[in-house]
Chain A
Amino acid sequence: GENVEQHPSTLSVQEGDSAVIKCTYSDSASNYFPWYKQELGKGPQLIIDIRSNVGEKKDQRIAVTLNKTAKHFSLHITETQPEDSAVYFCAAIITGNQFYFGTGTSLTVIP
């Protein structure tokens, strides 16, 4: 099956700085790559996703890039704010099959 690796496992940034989280996947058939944000005591919530026919997608302060050749994708958060502090998960999916999640990145934004 698919193997998704996520780095780093923890990340601390100063408020206003940028944060980057990277994931790699193993199955070249994967075609959908969502990112989830999980706040303490809550379930994961989708924040942005990208499909394999697109190289980059942006939504306000967050963006995701995909390099299909290298089989990696990244989450970029600019102008970080304390409310961005959470655990972020990436996932890789072949449509119609199960989700394979990364192991999560705990992001702390220091005011």
Chain B
Amino acid sequence: NAGVTQTPKFQVLKTGQSMTLQCAQDMNHNSMYWYRQDPGMGLRLIYYSASEGTTDKGEVPNGYNVSRLNKREFSLRLESAAPSQTSVYFCATNRDRGVDEQYFGPGTRLTVT
């Protein structure tokens, strides 16, 4: 039981390049989330998926797109990376949006030069 996994762990991009961050969970949870973590700013919600087939914007969605591929997988795409997107990205899940405890993946450290 791996819980929440994320790939890759590290990535360096040049400005304008695109990439997709992958997240998978084996907890049979319905809801999945993408956060970014920046120094002094805590965790900020980018997008979430309350259930398979649905996605919604969070606090900081600009420059990102998401896909809820199936119940297990939720990907985050940067179409044209910018230095302001340098951050650590965390995927999280919980059983349902109305059930509170969230479980986090190990994170992806992204640097955009």
Contacts and interface: CB of A to CB of B under 8 A. Distances in A.
B45 A95 contact: no
B42 A103 contact: yes
Contacts of A9: 40
Contacts of A95: 98, 100
A103 B40 contact: yes
Interface stretch (A42-50, A54-62, A70-78): A42-50
B102 interface: yes
Contact size range, A: 20 to 34
Contact of B43 (A1, A42, A44, A93): A44
Contact of A49 (B40, B58, B92, B100): B100
A11 to B, nearest CB: 15
B45 A98 contact: yes
Interface stretch (B14-22, B67-75, B79-87, B103-111): B103-111
Interface in A26-74: 32, 34, 36, 41-46, 49
Contact of A102 (B42, B45, B98, B106): B42
A9 B90 CA distance: 21
Contacts of A104: 42
A111 interface: no
A4 B101 CA distance: 18
Contacts of B43: 44, 89, 99, 101
17 contacts: A1-B59, A4-B42, A6-B42, A41-B107, A43-B4, A43-B90, A44-B104, A46-B102, A89-B42, A96-B97, A97-B97, A98-B58, A99-B102, A101-B42, A101-B43, A102-B42, A103-B41
